[in-house]
Structure 1
Amino acid sequence: MAGKVAGDSEPIDFSPDFIAMGKNSKTIVCELCKCKVLKPGIAELVEKELELPHMKKQPGRDDPAAGEKLTDFWLVSNMYHFENVGFSKHVGTIRFLLCADCEIGPIGWHDTGDKTKYFVAANRVKYL
């Protein structure tokens, strides 16, 4: 799996520095305000293709509703495992995940039909 950390040009190296026993080995934080989103050992790295709206307005883009296809996500099985996360209003059965402090996002995605799957985009967060 390879993704990019938002703002960085180098791909994320999902080596043992990032994954320990199948879980995140680093603290996952908001890329903007560094608010803690997940403690180490909480989320499992999965490959799943999802389309999320862009976090920033894309100049010259004709369709402002167009999103970005992402494939590397941290899967969280329970909403109470988050340290700080906000949820958007419903868009059908989807709620987007946001930073609870600065409200930047979406950093992830949740289908309300499944209470055991919360996806945080690996390239829309930072790691400490």
Structure 2
Amino acid sequence: MVRCAVIGGWRKMVDCDWWLRGSGMYIHYQWSHLCCRHFDFLSDSDLLLCSMADVSSLVSEGQNSHIVVCTHCESRVLSPQSATLLKKSYPLPMPTQPKNQLSTLTEDLSEWWVVDDMFTFDNIGFSHSVGSTKYLVCADCERGPVGWHDNNTRKSYVALTRVKHA
């Protein structure tokens, strides 16, 4: 399920990085097959639940069945059958942060492509270490984070909602 939060008249697709204003809007986020309709009469405290297509169409034998690409520049991140699906909640920093924010805004994402070896990636960038974590960004456009890398286990995790599947 994908949550749609309403804050001060702005609607944010919590798992999809979309902010919308107004009512009666139709949203279709192609790479996540997300459709939400008719946001009338929502207050700041409302939450609206919308349905998201099952990820089973992206998985074959437990691994990604499609090419994984950057949502912004279409750069290839992973080849088919190179990562395993994991459902686990983990906070990932938001791609954009407000100025003068004292702490990093994060969102809890729950579906990840797990990559066992960093050399499996076709194209990915790593941040400097933050504790035992490095964040993953597109190596071409440097947008992200699209995931994170655990320095202890040496595994990388790419969020399904932060990439496209071609």
Q: What band does the TM-score fall into relative to the shorter chain?
A: 0.7 to 0.9
Report matched runs for 1:52-63 at 5 Å: 52-57=92-97, 63=102
SS at match of 2:161: helix
Aligned residues: 124
Please name the residue that 1:71 is paired with. 110
Please name the residue that 2:86 is paired with. 46
| Change in 2 beyond 3 A, CA 1:12/1:109 | farther
Runs of 4+ in 1 over 6 A off after TM superposition: none
After TM superposition, the structure 1 stretch with the greater mean CA deviation from structure 2, 41-50 or 61-70, is 61-70
SS at match of 1:80: helix
SS at match of 1:40: coil
TM-score by length of 2: 0.68
TM-score by length of 1: 0.86
Alignment partner of 1:87 is 2:126:
yes
**Over alpha carbons, which structure has the higher Rg?**
2
Distance 1:58 1:13 in 2: 32
Considering Cα pairs closer than 8 Å and 6+ residues apart, tell me whether 1 or 2 has the greater RCO. 1
The offset of 1:13, in angstroms, is: 2.4
Identify, as 1 or 2, the structure richer in strand.
2
Q: Is the 8 A contact 2:97 2:104 kept in 1?
A: no
Distance 2:110 2:96 in 1: 19
SS at match of 2:55: coil
Q: Is the 8 A contact 1:5 1:122 kept in 2?
A: no
Pairwise CA RMSD? 2.1
Please name the residue that 1:32 is paired with. 72
